[in-house]
Each structure stands twice: as structure tokens, then as C-alpha cells.
């Protein structure tokens, strides 16, 4: 055995190296070319930190640590192997697990340290426990909604915001009391239970289209609670990891809210449901032009530039592999095919990119909103698969529309627009899409996967026969 | 007190680094970004390990053990899925720079 002091210092150095590796890990993630190095750096940092911690001389018993590490690995491996379409709910579940860990450690630390807890320490401990608890149940609810175990429609009732805000206020008041009286062990459970309840109620009014923002926000909370835990345990490594996670979640939430032209408070307390009721008002019977797969194939074959706009509907129909076949067929014929991806397409940030990458579509063909919008006037055909509100020109023109001001993909500037859709029913926000009534728009009614498959068959049929 | 001040400085600087680094992450990779930061967040396991190892109370051991399980599953699952996703992102340009 080395002398305790040397080991102690060695552990601190290992933590320092791990912190550096974590930052590098995120830096390398900035480009797809170096991204996998980022994962390796993260893994190495994690391995070092855990190995270093196991050498800590305060540890007297390894039994439960070993059991828990093995058990966690057994649970973790299948969670890492889920289908790509299940990534949003898996992510929500992992936010829940992260928050659970933080909340439990915070609770244990309180009972170990009470009644001698300095005010600042008690304040961060409270932040840790409150954020951990509400993120835990909130993320479980989000995962349940995404997995469709729970109803996806937002559930709203009168006075909902007042109930929620009062609950949070009570939790904060309990925390404040505990800061002054850290010996009130009987009050502490309230500070766990109330945020647990708040987490559930917070997600009840959230609908599917708001999920990208909410998942990002929960990500941020999970990070901040971990940083608070770092303060409690005086672990700089944990503070750094938590701060990185917290800022990442925060940036993503900002990007998502901007992409929906809404504020955080609006997402958390506004519940799109209320807007919907107002929106679904005027709907006169207007005529649309529809087309068959054969006609669609002929138009696509005759074009030079095609932009495909995917949405959540593509994920639901599992159409991404058929879309790849279409991409291949058209590319072989010399058609330039790119993808236009709205930041909030799907159920979490970057959802569409992952699905299309899984289907082997090269990432340099996946363009985000700002990159693709200038291309639409030079585009022959836009093919919309399962996207709706993010293509609605009302967001640009109609100041009475609930989505007015939301940045959209300017698909209406292309020469021809084709929309694959099951029926004429309005999208998530319950808003009629005037795009469908334009003269240049062709509606392709049917299941996304089947319809794209039909187009591909038509294209390859007349191509070589 | 000086420890806390240092911690606050560390937090502030790390948050700034986080903002600057993560702002540069391409929107292409926002899903892997979230799963990677989640895996890194599982470093909380370190705190749970010490809590369990010190055996200060039965409550701490029980809660800590559950905490290790939760964090480890995030850590293992998070890295596996992030790597799986990143492997799928291929360029149409044939060669590497």
C-alpha cells in the first residue's frame, strides 16, 4: 500500500485529467468526422475517474459497490442497444436515472450530516434534492408519453398553473426553512415528495410536439442537479460534468424554443392545448389536388433538384429505409436530392438526422433549416413526409395564426410541393395548413412507407424495363 | 468558505466552456450530444461509490447502492448508444481528409 496522502493526491490528479477529457469529449463532438473520438475520450475519462475513486482509502467495503456496478451494467447494455426509433424515450429514461442517482445521494447525505449543516451547504443540498426529484418523475412521465404508455395529448385543467407554481413554492419554502433549521429531519421528506409530485404535474400538460424542448429542459435540470451534488460533495469533477450537461441542455432548450417561436415559460406553463382550441376554428371545404404514385414518380424523375422534408410521421411509419431507396434511385438518375430538417422535427433535438443516418443517408445531404431555406426557390420538387406545422406558410404570413412567427421551411417557394399524408386531418397544433391548397401542391394520400415504396417501384420499373 | 468559492468559480468557468464548446456542435449531432452529456453526467456514480463504500449508515448504503445502479446503467447505456449513433453518420465524400 502506498501512503494515504500520495494516493489522495493521485486521485485528485486523475479527476483533473478526467475533467479535461470530458471537455475534449464535447469539443470533438462538434463535427461528425471527430465525434467518435469524443466518445472514446469520455469513456477514458470515466474509467479513470471510477478507478481512481475505488482506490479512495475511505472505502471500507466493496461488496455492494461491486454488486451495484454489475447490476447497472446489466441494465445499461440493453438500454444502449434500443432501436433508433426508441431513442427519445430512452433519453428521457436516462435523464430519470441520472436524476434518481443525484436525488438519492442527496437524501443520504442529508441524513448523514444533519443537524450540523452550514446554510450554504443546505441550500445546495436542497437544490440537488428538489431538482433531482422533479427531474426524476418528470422524465419518467416524458418517457411514458414518448413510449405511448401514457396519453400523448396534453391534459389541461383550470388553475393548473396555480397548482403547479404553488407546489414548487411550497418545496422552496420547506428548503428555506431547512437552511435555517437543518435539524428538521421530519420536514425533509416533504422536500422530496413535493418535487416528485411537481415533476408529474409539470409534464401532464405537455404534448408530443413540445417534447424536443421539454427533453432538453429536463436534460438541463439533470445536469444542474449533478452540479449541485458536486458542491455538496466538494467534487470539482462532478461540478464540471454537471455544468457541461446543464449548459448543453440549456442551449438545446433555447434552440428548440426559438424554433417554435415560444419562450420557456410558455412551453412549461402555456400548454399548446390552450392555443389549439382557438386555432381549430375556421375550416371551409377547399379543394386539394391529389396524385398517384405513378404521377409522383414521373414528376420526380423529370426534376433536377429534390428536397425531402421529413417529420415525425416518417418515424412513426418507419419509412426511413424506403426513403433511402428513393434517395438512391433518384441519385442514380442524376437528380440532386437533399434533406431539409427543421430543428423541432421529431420528438427530440436531432431525431430526424439519427434516423436518416441509420438508413445510410450521407450526413452531408442532411441540411438544417438555415442552410436549406435559400435553396427552395431553385428546387423542382419538395417531398414532405410526415411533417406539417413546420412547413405551414401561415407562420410567415398570417399574424392571427397561433404559429405566426415560428421559423419554417420555405417549401412553398419550390416549383412543386408533394405531401405524403394519411388524410387531410390537421397536424399536432390543430392548425389547417394552407400549403395543401396551393395550385403547385400535390397531395399523396397514404401510409408514408407504402407510398414511398410505390414511388420507388414506379421509378425502377420504367427506368430499365 | 474558500472551498465553496473555488467551487463556484469552477462551476462558472465550466458553464462558460460548456456554452462555447456546445454552441459549435452541429445540429446534425444534437441527439448524440444529448446522450453523450448524459453519459458524462453519470460521473455522479463517483459520489455514490464513496457513499456506499464508507458504510456510514444502512440508509446511506441502500440509497447509494440504488444510485450506483442508476448511474452505471446511464454510463454504460449512454456510451454504447452514442457510439452506435455516431458510427451511422457517414459522408458521401469517399475519403477522409
Report CB contact under 8 Å: A350, B67.
no
Structural domain count, chain A: 3
Which chain A positions have a beta carbon within 8 Å of B58's beta carbon? none
The single residue of A389, A410, A432, A454 carrying the catalytic annotation is: A389
Beta bridge pairs of residue A420: A385, A444
Q: Which residue of B has its CA nearest to A352?
A: B28
Q: Which chain B residue shows the shortest CA-CA distance from A232?
A: B4
Same structural domain, A399 and A440: yes
Residue A165 grid cell: 407554481
CA distance A326 to A304: 14
Residue A246 in contact with partner chain B when CB distance is under 8 A: yes
Q: What is the pLDDT of residue A278?
A: 42
CA distance A32 to A46: 22
Residues A337, A378, single domain; the answer is yes
A405 assigned to some structural domain: yes
Lowest-confidence segment of A125-134, A167-176, A252-261, B53-62 by average pLDDT: A252-261
Q: Is residue A288 part of a domain?
A: no
- In this prediction, residue A442 carries a pLDDT of 92
| Dihedrals phi, psi of A382, to nearest 5 degrees | -105, 125
Residues A262 and A300 placed together within one structural domain of the fold = no
Chain B: residue whose CA lies nearest to A124: B4
How many H helices and E strands in chain A?
18, 6
Q: Rounded to an integer, what distance in angstroms lies between the CA atom of residue A30 and that of residue B87? A: 15
Q: Based on C-alpha coordinates, what's the Rg of chain B?
A: 18
* A82 part of a folded domain: no
pLDDT score, position A332 = 92
Across chain A, what does the average pLDDT equal?
89
**Burial grade of A417 (CB within 10 A; 0-12, 13-18, 19 or more):** buried
- What dihedral angle (degrees, nearest 10) is formed by the CA atoms of B27, B30, B33, B35? -170
ipTM > 0.90, yes or no: yes
Domain-terminating residue out of A231, A257, A279: A279
CB of A248 within 8 Å of a chain B CB? The answer is yes
Helices A211-233 and A119-146, packing angle to 10 deg = 150
> Which residues form the domain of A270?
87-279
We report the CATH number of the domain holding residue A327 as 3.40.50.1220
Q: How near does any CA of chain A get to the CA of B12, in Å?
A: 8
Q: What is the largest CA-CA distance in chain B?
A: 59
Residue B1 has pLDDT above 60, yes or no: no
**A-chain residues within 8 Å CB-CB of B25?**
26, 29-30
Q: Do A22 and B23 touch (CB under 8 A)?
A: no
pLDDT for the residue A273: 43
d(CA A100, CA A170): 21
Name the residue facing B7 among A65, A77, A234 (closest C-beta): A234
A290-310: average pLDDT: 93
Q: Are residues A298 and A273 part of one domain?
A: no
How far is CA B60 from each of CA A9, A406, A423, B47, B51, rounded to the nearest angstrom? 26, 49, 56, 12, 7
Give chain A positions within 8 Å (CB) of B2.
none
Closest CB to B7: pick one of A75, A101, A236.
A236
Mean pLDDT calculated for residue range A366-379: 94
One domain for residues A325 and A451: yes
CA dist., res. A158 & res. A161, Å (int): 8
Are residues B46 and A53 in contact, defined by beta-carbon separation less than 8 angstroms? yes
Q: Is B15 exposed, middle or buried (0-12, 13-18, 19+ CB in 10 A)?
A: buried
* Gap between the Cα atoms of A441 and B62, Å rounded: 62
Q: Are residues A53 and A175 in the same domain?
A: no
Residue A430: pLDDT over 80: no
- Say yes or no: B20 contacts chain A, CB-CB below 8 A: no
Q: Kindly state whether A51 is in contact with chain B, defined as any CB-CB distance less than 8 angstroms.
A: no
In the predicted structure, residue A110 carries a pLDDT above the cut 60: yes
pTM, rounded to two decimals: 0.90
CA distance A76 to A78: 6
**Cβ neighbours of B40 in A, within 8 Å:** 22, 25-26, 42, 45-46, 241, 244-245
Residue A303 shares a structural domain with residue A239: no
C-alpha cell of residue A253: 432548450
Same domain, A137 and A270: yes
**A465: pLDDT confidence band, cut at 50, 70 and 90?**
very low
Give the A:B interface size as CB pairs under 8 Å.
364
The confidence score (pLDDT) of residue A426 equals 63
Quote the CA–CA distance of A19 and A37 in Å, as a whole number.
Answer: 16
More confident residue, A427 or A23: A23
Query: Considering only CB atoms, which chain A residues are within 8 Å of B46?
Result: 49-50, 53, 235, 237-238
* DSSP three-state, residue A3: coil
pLDDT at A304 over 50: yes
Tell me the sheet residues that pair with A306: A337, A381
Domain end marker among A225, A251, A279: A279
Dihedral (C-alpha) A337, A342, A344, A346: value to the nearest 10 degrees?
-20
Q: Is residue A286 in some structural domain?
A: no
Residues 6+ apart with CB under 8 A from A6: none
Nearest CA in chain B to A47: B43
Whether residue A59 lies inside any domain: the answer is: yes
In a domain, residue A256? The reply is yes
- Claim to verify: residue A266 and residue A312 sit in the same structural domain: no
DSSP-derived secondary structure letter, B97? -
With beta carbons under 8 A apart, name residues in chain A contacting B69: 68, 71-72, 75
Check CB contact under 8 Å for B17 and A244: yes
Provide φ and ψ at B57, rounded to 5°: -155, 160
CB atoms within 10 A of CB A157: 8
Q: Is the pLDDT of residue A272 over 70?
A: no
- For residue A44, what pLDDT is reported? 97
Give A6 or A166, the one with higher predicted confidence.
A166
Are both A360 and A226 inside the same structural domain? Answer: no
Q: What is the C-alpha R_g of chain A?
A: 26
- A416 lies in a domain? yes
- Is A308:A337 a contact under the CB 8 Å cutoff? yes
Of B33, B37, B53, the CB nearest to A60: B53
> pLDDT tens digits, residue range A217-240?
999 999 999 999 999 999 999 999
Q: Is B94 on the interface with A (CB under 8 A)?
A: no
Q: Is B43 on the interface with A (CB under 8 A)?
A: yes
- Considering only CA atoms, which of A177, A233, A86 is closest in space to residue B43? A233
From A273's Cα to the closest Cα of chain B, the distance in A is 26
Residues A155 and A255 in one domain: yes
A142 neighbors A219 (Cβ within 8 angstroms): no
A360 is catalytic: no
- Out of A249, A279, A309, a domain closes at A279
Grid cell, residue B17, equals 466552456
B69 at A interface, C-beta within 8 A: yes
pLDDT, position A275: 44
Residue B9 in contact with partner chain A when CB distance is under 8 A? no
Residue A173 and residue A308 in one domain: no
* Residues facing A305 on adjacent strands: A336
Q: Quote the CA–CA distance of B57 and B65 in Å, as a whole number.
A: 12
Minimal CA separation from A157 to chain B, in Å: 32
Q: What percent of chain A has pLDDT over 70?
A: 93
Q: How far is B5 from chain A (nearest CA, A)?
A: 10
pLDDT band at residue A353 using 50, 70 and 90 as cut-offs? very high
Q: Which residues of B touch A349 (CB under 8 A)?
A: 27, 30-31, 33-34
Interface of A with B in 131-190 (CB under 8 A): none
**Predicted confidence (pLDDT) per residue in B22-69, tens digit:** 998 989 999 999 999 999 999 999 999 999 999 999 999 999 999 999
Amino acid at each position: 500500500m502506498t501512503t494515504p496522502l500520495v494516493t489522495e493526491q493521485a486521485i485528485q490528479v486523475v479527476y483533473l485529467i478526467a475533467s479535461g477529457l470530458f471537455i475534449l469529449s464535447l469539443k470533438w463532438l462538434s463535427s461528425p468526422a471527430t465525434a467518435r473520438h469524443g466518445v472514446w475520450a469520455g469513456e477514458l475519462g470515466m474509467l479513470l475517474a471510477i478507478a481512481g475513486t475505488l482506490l479512495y482509502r475511505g472505502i471500507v467495503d466493496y461488496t455492494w459497490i461491486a454488486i451495484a456496478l454489475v447490476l447497472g451494467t446489466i441494465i445499461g447494455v440493453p438500454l444502449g442497444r434500443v432501436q433508433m426509433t426508441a431513442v427519445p424515450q430512452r433519453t428521457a429514461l436516462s435523464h430519470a436515472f441520472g436524476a434518481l442517482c443525484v436525488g438519492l445521494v442527496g437524501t443520504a447525505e442529508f441524513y448523514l450530516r444533519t443537524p450540523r449543516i452550514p446554510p450554504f451547504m443546505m441550500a445546495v443540498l436542497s437544490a440537488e434534492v428538489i431538482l433531482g426529484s422533479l427531474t426524476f418523475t418528470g422524465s419518467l412521465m416524458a418517457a411514458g408519453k414518448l413510449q405511448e404508455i401514457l396519453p400523448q395529448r396534453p391534459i389541461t385543467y383550470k388553475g393548473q398553473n396555480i397548482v403547479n407554481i404553488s407546489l414548487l413554492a411550497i418545496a422552496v419554502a420547506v428548503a428555506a426553512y431547512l437552511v435555517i433549521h437543518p435539524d428538521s429531519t421530519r420536514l425533509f421528506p416533504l422536500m422530496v415528495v413535493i418535487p416528485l409530485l411537481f415533476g408529474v404535474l409539470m409534464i401532464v400538460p405537455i404534448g408530443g410536439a413540445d417534447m424536443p424542448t421539454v427533453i432538453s429542459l429536463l436534460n438541463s435540470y439533470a445536469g444542474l442537479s449533478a452540479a449541485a451534488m458536486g458542491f455538496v460533495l466538494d467534487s470539482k469533477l462532478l461540478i464540471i460534468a454537471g455544468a457541461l450537461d446543464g449548459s448543453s441542455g440549456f442551449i438545446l432548450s433555447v434552440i428548440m424554443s426559438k424554433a417554435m417561436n415560444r419562450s420557456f415559460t410558455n412551453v412549461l406553463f402555456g400548454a399548446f392545448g390552450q392555443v389549439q382550441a382557438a386555432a381549430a376554428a375556421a375550416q371551409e371545404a377547399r379543394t386539394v389536388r391529389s396524385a398517384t404514385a405513378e404521377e409522383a414518380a414521373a414528376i420526380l424523375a423529370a426534376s433536377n433538384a429534390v428536397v425531402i422534408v421529413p417529420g415525425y410521421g416518417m418515424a412513426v411509419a418507419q419509412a426511413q429505409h424506403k426513403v433511402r431507396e428513393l434517395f438512391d434511385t433518384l441519385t442514380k438518375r442524376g437528380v440532386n436530392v437533399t434533406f431539409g430538417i427543421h430543428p423541432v422535427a421529431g420528438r427530440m433535438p436531432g431525431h430526424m438526422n439519427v434516423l436518416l443516418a441509420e438508413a445510410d443517408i450521407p450526413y452531408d445531404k442532411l441540411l438544417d433549416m438555415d442552410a436549406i431555406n435559400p435553396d427552395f426557390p431553385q428546387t423542382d420538387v419538395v417531398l414532405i413526409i410526415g411533417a406539417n406545422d413546420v412547413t405551414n406558410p401561415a407562420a410567415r404570413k398570417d399574424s392571427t395564426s397561433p404559429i405566426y412567427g415560428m421559423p419554417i421551411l420555405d417549401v412553398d417557394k419550390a416549383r412543386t410541393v408533394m405531401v405524403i399524408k394519411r388524410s387531410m386531418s390537421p397536424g399536432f397544433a390543430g392548425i389547417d395548413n394552407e400549403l395543401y391548397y396551393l395550385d403547385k401542391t400535390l397531395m399523396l394520400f397514404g401510409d408514408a412507407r407504402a407510398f414511398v415504396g410505390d414511388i420507388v417501384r414506379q421509378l425502377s420499373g420504367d427506368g430499365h424495363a | 468558505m474558500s472551498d465553496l468559492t473555488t467551487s463556484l468559480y469552477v462551476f462558472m468557468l465550466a458553464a462558460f466552456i460548456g456554452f462555447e464548446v456546445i454552441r459549435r456542435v452541429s445540429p446534425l449531432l444534437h441527439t448524440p450530444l444529448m446522450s453523450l452529456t448524459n453519459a458524462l453526467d453519470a460521473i455522479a456514480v463517483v459520489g455514490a461509490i464513496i457513499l456506499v463504500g464508507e458504510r456510514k449508515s444502512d440508509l446511506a448504503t441502500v440509497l447509494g447502492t440504488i444510485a450506483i445502479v442508476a448511474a452505471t446503467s446511464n454510463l454504460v447505456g449512454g456510451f454504447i448508444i452514442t457510439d452506435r449513433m455516431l458510427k451511422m453518420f457517414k459522408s458521401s465524400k469517399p475519403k477522409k481528409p
